[in-house]
Chain A
Amino acid sequence: MMSFVSYLVNGISLGSIYALIALGYTMVYGIAKMLNFAHGDIIMVGGFTVFTAMSTAWCPVWLSVVIGIVVCTVLGVVIEKVAYKPLRSAPPLAVLITAIGVSYLLQNLALLIFGSAAQNFTSIVAGMPPFLTVLDGQAPLFFATAPSGSKAILTISMETFLSIVVSLVIMIALTLFINKTKAGKAMLAVAEDKGAAQLMGINVNGTISLTFAIGSALAAAASVLMCSSYPQISPYTGSMPGIKAFVAAVFGGIGSIPGAMIGGVLLGVIEQLSKAYISSQLSDAIVFLVLIIVLVVRPTGILGKKINEKV
């Protein structure tokens, strides 16, 4: 029972990281109608920036995280301006291949700078006691190290707790931002109809840049959480979580923001549970199998809108 709870909590934690990444995919898709394949590599850049800031420059943790988020945000906006903006009216496949090119570029830059070997990432909450420890037959301990020699039947690490809390806060903030502020409503309007939004006086280019900035900042936050929970980083760190988050976005219905959150968390839980109870080698295959089944039953994802085509 306790092990199930532990797998479930780990799954939710991993899933909330996926959800943060998936939000970037889904927002960019909603507004620019493009699959941003380089999104996964922005995670990697964020991870390496924080890694370098913490290990080389001896920055305090909070400053490293801020630097990571700023670098990713700027990078996301620059990529949009340089590579995607000239292609805004080009066929979608051309934009997709450009995004793949950007992804190759970021990966190979990281490969040149940091080498292909994985580096050890120091968790941003290293040294802190676990969030929750349940000892057999005793009251649960919060934020305390279990006395040595005692046997814990459930431990939830600080990283896991942090991932869930931070993701939750970010998601609530993002939902409020999109629904309550002028800039957020402009994003919704541009996603709905670019031409009409422009006629209403919305700065379409600015809104698209803002979307890329937010998506990349979320990716940076996700990278810090991910590298803290799975403390390694290499130039290829971003690609598999990127793909998984892409799957999560489609799973929830691409273009839908609550869909990305639900999709991400579900995907994380499915992955952890299948790793624990079915097979660790096949967990990826199971995730994708569930995705295929969901999409065959509901062809536009869980919360996706069905758009009727007109002739």
Chain B
Amino acid sequence: MDSQGLKPRLATIWLGGCSGCHMSFLDMDERLIDLALRVDLCSSPLVDVKEFPNVDVTLVEGAVANEAHVHELEIVRARSRIVVAFGDCAVTGNVTAMRNAFGVEDVLTRAYRSTSAVVVGVPDGADGMVPRLLPRVRPLHELVKVDYFLQGCPPSADEIYTFLNELLEGRTPTIRRFG
């Protein structure tokens, strides 16, 4: 991975998830210092970069739930050598996809029209401010090629560190859990 003597370039991105996987990433605590010496964190919700750069590895948290996610995921795939489905939402759809059994209109009605307090109406996405929800929430691999699947809701800090360490050492990370 480090053929030119440069540090491998790492990115993370947050699609339809709760950010719990990123919180778990931060839970690596002092091991983050070790990682910071070994990788360049180029783009992430934790890094203020506007344009997604070319990287070696991207951890993608969350399922694909709206039109913006599709767009972002396509960019991530095009610009990453290795794409990792980071956590259960990315791998299976998980909680994000539980709305699929109901249909998007029913879900929007329940969230925005049938509320007991303020009824603000359903954001329709027409003004481009809010991305339109997809009819069905999908795991990453339904849209793009995914190289590795890192399970867990969220994957524990230990699991994330072990996974990244295996990748950085040039080994193939093994599956230790499902869901």
Bind each other: no
